[in-house]
Structures are given as structure tokens and as C-alpha cells.
Chain A
Amino acid sequence: MIDLINVNKSYNEFAVLKNINLSVKKGETLAIIGASGSGKSTLLKLMIGLQRPTSGEIWIKQQEISKLDEMQLDKIRLTMGMVFQYSALFDSMTVAENIGFGLTEHSDLSTAEIDKIVDEKLALVGLEKFKEYMPNELSGGMKKRVSLARAIAFEPEIILYDEPSSGLDPIMAGKIDKLIKYTQQQMGVTSVVVTHDMDSAYYIADRIAMIYNGEIIALGNAQIIKNSDDERVQEFISGGRIIR
């Protein structure tokens, strides 16, 4: 479903990602862990064509996307969703308009039908009462959840989550983890989840990849990561919760 082959990414000479090889199978959930600034968000942006790799190939559903133009990319993006690290809600639109945006723009559904889907997704993230609020009237954690509802509203095949539960209280974070798991199990969604929370990674992910200074230094299921003899991995998974 998602395949990265020898991907490098530099911002003005500064190498952020080095020789990344990674593949995510259909229906799989991959968690990406790593310290701040290690290049996790950049990796997600490469996968959805917001950034282009300096070199290497990125395959999404049997298409090499790094050389596609925006119009061709848009076709693929219709089947993808993304939760941004800082939510990126449209601040001139209400919560409901934000969630319904993709449907309004790209489907023939009626306003009433869209409204029904919006209600459904709002209920999933526990924000039924805030439908007509503007984003600037919401707390950071609430914005996150709206952003999540927006990403799943179009029922994409692939969802990229950039720290979906950071900034949420433990109960809400647990709820979001369940929601991510639910989308995978019920809708067969392929997901890539950037997270700092090891418990969450163990719970939602089939496999975990650790990025360190732009390189993948460990990749495998929870057992493999827990038993890794790489010091850098051990340091992260034991101290991660405290450092965060």
C-alpha cells in the first residue's frame, strides 16, 4: 500500500531523512516513534505528497507519487486522510464545515446527508455539542479531535496521523487510540501513526518504526522493539514517557 524506497529528504543541504526504506501493507497500522526533530512529520508529509523527496521513490497504491503533478496527486489524495500535528483546522469555518469539507467539495451528497455524517463523526470523537463552534473557540485537544473527525469523514483507505493523542488527557487519549484501532478493524484502513506514547504504540500498531536523526534504526512488532538491544531504542522506550 505504502512503499518508500531509498528516500532522502533535505531542506537546504540539511539532511532530514536519510535512506528510508519502509513499506506498509494494506490494512496494517504502523507506528512511528522518535525524538522531536527526528523527521517524523516530514516522513508523513512525503507520503501524502506535501513535500517531495530529494531522491528515492514513494509508492502509494502502485503509483510512484514523487513525480506526479498536483492534479494527479489529488486523485490519490481522495483516498487518503491526514491528521495534522497542529490540527490545521480551517479557522474561517465552523467545526461542522471543517468535518464536512471533503464531502462538500468532492461528493454529490446533499447537505442533509453530509450533516448526518458530520454528526456521526462528531459523536465518535465526543464533540456533539460543539458542532457550530469556530475552531478558535476550542481547546487544543478539542481541535485535535475535530481534525481527526475531518480526516475520517471521507472514509479514506489510508490515514496518516501526526501525534493524534498528544495534548489530550489520558482518558481521551485512550479513546482516540480505540478509535484508530476501530477504523482499522471496521473499515480496513491502512494507517501510519506518529506518536510519542509507547503504550499507545504497542496498543494500536502492528509494527513500530523508530526514527533516529532521520534514519530508521528499528522496525518490527512490539516484541521486537521491546527486546531491541539498540541502546537508543531502549533509552527512548523507557524514558519516552518521562521526557515527553
Chain B
Amino acid sequence: MAIIGSFILKRLAIWGGFILLLLDTLKQCRQMPRLRHVLRQMAHLGVDTLPIVALTMLFTGMVLTLQTAAEFIRFGAQSTIGGVVTIAVGRELGPVLTGVVAAGRVGAAITAEISTMKVTEQIDALKVMATNPIGYLVVPRLLACMIMLPLLVVFGDIIGSFGGWIIANYYDISSFMYMRSIDVFVISHDFTGGLIKAVFFGIIIAIIGCYYGLYAENGAEGVGKATTKSVVNAIIAIFFFNCFLSMILYR
């Protein structure tokens, strides 16, 4: 009991820490960060993540069609496949998988960079030079993640749907039928809902990444530990919020 209790308390304390950091960051947003910093972070994020997102979503779209096509054809529902795949990708798989990939790639990089700055006293140096570390480091990363994640999801959705189409061809479903079923079944909310999710996942990745960076323990070991924790926690948070957001957006 005591172990479970202390575990839950620890979790709550950490989540409280995330929320406090988010509030601090929003407070710092009042002073616009330099555009240059935000753009640099966005470039980082896009270049780092787009290739993996593309690959992940291509295979996901392919495998989705692979698993559904045979069954659907058996029930004479081949004309729905394009729609089903695209809805699944747009609503759930696109944002979630992009979020997970970005957490592993970008979240880890953010934590590693900031925790290294922490243990080498660069954060202290920022403070000494009257520069708020949250305003200088966290705000640009938060903005970059909030903007870039939805963009990545747009690419991911298109590529996922394209992957589905490749396999559909293989099952003798014509391109026309695939496109038409997308046209008939998919509404724009399937798409925009996923993008709203992506904005939240961007916030999660940036805040959790920065949190573990700023509160890293000393030493090189501290950097490694912080990075692992950041990725694990961001992924858990993404799945949790995804469930929650799906309930709100798609009920």
C-alpha cells in the first residue's frame, strides 16, 4: 500500500511540476521570443522528424489496408476501404504516431540539450546575464512544437493514406474507388480533430522535454537518466491525452 501510495504521490508531484512549468512558460510568452530562435527550433524539428514520420506513416497506412482489405472484400465492402483507412489515420494513427516519433526524436533532443546546459552551469550563466531560462529556452521550443507537430501530421496523414492506396491497388481496388470512398466517408473534422490533437502533443513534448532538462541531476549520468524519463513520460502522456481528446472530439 505504502509503495503504491508513494508512487502515486510522486507521479502527482511530477505532473504538478509539468503544469507549473507550462504556466511559467505561458507567463514568459508575454515578451515575444525572438523569431530567429523559434524558426531555428522549427527547422531542427522538421528536419529531424519528417523522414521518420513519413516512413512510419507509409508503413502504417500499408499495413492497415493489408489487414482490412481481405475482410472487407469478403463482405463486399471494398468501396469503403479508402475512407476507413483515411479516417483511422486522420483521427488517431497520424497524430499519435507522429507524436510518439517526435517524442523520441525531438523530446529526447530537447532534454539532452537543456540538461547538458544545466549540469555545465549554462543555465546559471543565462540567469546571471539577466536572461530568463524559461523565456529563452522553453518558449521558442514550445512554440516550435505547437506549430510543427500539426504540420508533420498533415504530411503524415497524406503519406499514410497514400500507403493505404498502394496496398489497395494490390487488392485490385481501383484508384478511383479508393479516392471516391475517401470523398464519401471522410469529413474535414476527421482531419482537423487530428490536428488539434497534434497541437496538444506538441505542448506535451516541449514541456516534458524541457522539464526533465531543467531539473536534471548533476553529471553525465543525470543527462542520460533525464532523457529516458522525458521520452517515456511524454509517450505515456500522449496516449493518455489522445484517449481523452478522442472522447471530446469524436463522441
Which residues of chain A have a CB within 8 Å of any CB of chain B?
45, 48-50, 70-71, 73-75, 77-78, 80-82, 84, 86, 88-92, 101-102, 105-106, 154
CA distance A84 to B127 in the complex (A): 12
Say yes or no: is B124 at the interface (Cβ < 8 Å to chain A).
yes
Contacts of B169 in A (CB 8 A): none
Contacts of A49 in B (CB 8 A): 127
Count of chain B residues with a beta carbon within 8 Å of a chain A beta carbon = 14
Contacts of B131 in A (CB 8 A): 74, 101, 105
* Contact status A78-B130, CB under 8 Å: yes
Which residues of chain B have a CB within 8 Å of any CB of chain A?
113, 116-117, 120-122, 124-125, 127-132
Contacts of B116 in A (CB 8 A): 91
- Nearest CB in chain B: distance from A166 CB, A: 16
Q: A78-B130, A102-B130 are in contact. Are A86 and B121 (CB under 8 A)?
A: yes
Q: Is the interface of B mostly helix, strand, loop or mixed?
A: helix
CA distance A141 to B129 in the complex (A): 22
20 A–B contacts from the bound complex (CB under 8 Å): A45-B124, A50-B127, A70-B127, A71-B132, A74-B130, A74-B132, A77-B130, A78-B130, A82-B128, A84-B121, A88-B120, A88-B121, A88-B122, A90-B125, A91-B116, A91-B120, A101-B129, A105-B129, A105-B130, A106-B129
CA distance A77 to B132 in the complex (A): 11
CA distance A84 to B121 in the complex (A): 8
Contacts of A74 in B (CB 8 A): 127, 130-132
Q: A74-B130, A82-B128 are in contact. List 11 more A-B contacts (CB 8 A).
A: A49-B127, A71-B132, A73-B127, A75-B130, A77-B130, A84-B125, A86-B120, A91-B116, A101-B131, A102-B129, A105-B130
